[in-house]
A = this chain, B = another copy of it.
Amino acid sequence: MKIVLDAMGGDHAPAVVIDGAVQAVKELGIELILVGIEEDIRRELARHDISGLPLTIVHAPDVIEMDEHVDALKSKPNASIRVGMRIVREGQADAFASAGNSGAVMASAILDLRRIRGIKRPALATVYPVAPTPVLLIDNGANTDPKPENLLQFAQMGAAYVEKLWGIQNPKVAIVSNGEEDDKGNQLVRETLPLLKASGLNFVGNAEGKDVTKGIANVIVTDGFTGNVMLKLTEGLVSFLARYFKHELTDGLLNKTALALMVPGLLLATPGILLMLPTFKRIAKRVDYAEYGGAPLLGVDGVVVIGHGRSNAKAIKNMVRVARDMAQVNLVQVIKTAVTESEEG
């Protein structure tokens, strides 16, 4: 299994990407093709003992910066993202992974790998982590104004992903809405509802915001605008609550210290606070994108995974793991078959 990794993609590229790449080839049983500016890659690799590791380099002279407009793709056919996509298109690798400019990765995937025949709009899927069991949220930013038939395909692709990657048979599918009843929703949701009901998917109905965190479905479908807002709101909320707790804890400790000067016995309480720390760490870990790796771009004719720009080495490794798993179960073929069956059915 060969995976192309964009060495130039991410806020801390190439250093952190190379650190993650070395971890990945050591742990994941795969070969990696690093695309990017060869000199930079070699310099970062020199910090590691890589003798015998299945790492190769393909030089790509250009870089699409994190904040560059997606139009830059056209004027940079030799950017690492585009070179990497072509390696996959030509069958020289099984998957492409990048923590770079996500708009550019999506656009390049559509341009260079093409869409799967029958799929009108590819979509970005993400693990929504704050639920009793993991939930796949699709779309989270690829399509801000999709049509009902696009949402139907997001649901089909999401269900295929969850079934093959997470081993959940006949996964439950829901659509984000502003109420439980069928007449709730914006126009898009109300028009998508009959398509989902007739789809043959295990469609369980509307999911209100509060239902998402209850895990009422394995796949939650929404437009890319709403999905993006939901994910980033979750990120903001968890970080706000963590800061709030830390602040309260510090205050609590200070108050307790003051008290302790008067009542020395209370000092004995401090270990209790310290015992709380693992809980905070576990929550932080639960909502840490690094644990989940990247977001699969579903609907293009090849395996593409997009990582968070802030990815650390562990996130890079986990992004590569997601790409490996998708290639291993041949997800692209599964989606092709699902689309064909849906068109015939």
Contacts and interface: CB of A to CB of B under 8 A. Distances in A.
A111 interface: no
Contacts of A273: 272, 275-276
Copies of this chain, count: 2
B283 A244 contact: yes
A224 interface: yes
A43 to B, nearest CB: 32
Contact of A145 (B186, B231, B232, B238): B186
A131 B276 CA distance: 24
Interface stretch (A33-41, A58-66, A151-159, A211-219): A211-219
Interface in A229-284: 229-241, 244-245, 248-249, 252, 256, 266, 268-276, 278-279, 282-283
B230 A209 contact: yes
A230 B231 CA distance: 10
Interface string A40-54: 000000000000000
A167 to B, nearest CB: 24
Nearest to A176: B229
A329 to B, nearest CB: 30
A259 to B, nearest CB: 10
A287 B237 CA distance: 12
Contact of A269 (B214, B244, B271): B271
B268 A186 contact: no
Contacts of A270: 272
B238 A241 contact: yes
Interface of A: 69, 130-131, 141, 144-145, 176-179, 183-187, 189, 208-214, 223-226, 228-241, 244-245, 248-249, 252, 256, 266, 268-276, 278-279, 282-283
24 contacts: A69-B183, A130-B241, A144-B184, A144-B185, A144-B186, A176-B229, A177-B229, A178-B224, A178-B229, A179-B228, A185-B225, A209-B228, A209-B232, A212-B236, A214-B236, A229-B230, A241-B241, A245-B283, A248-B282, A249-B276, A269-B269, A269-B272, A269-B275, A272-B272
Given A130-B237, A186-B223, A208-B229, 10 more contacts: A131-B240, A177-B229, A209-B236, A210-B239, A214-B236, A226-B229, A249-B276, A252-B278, A271-B272, A272-B274
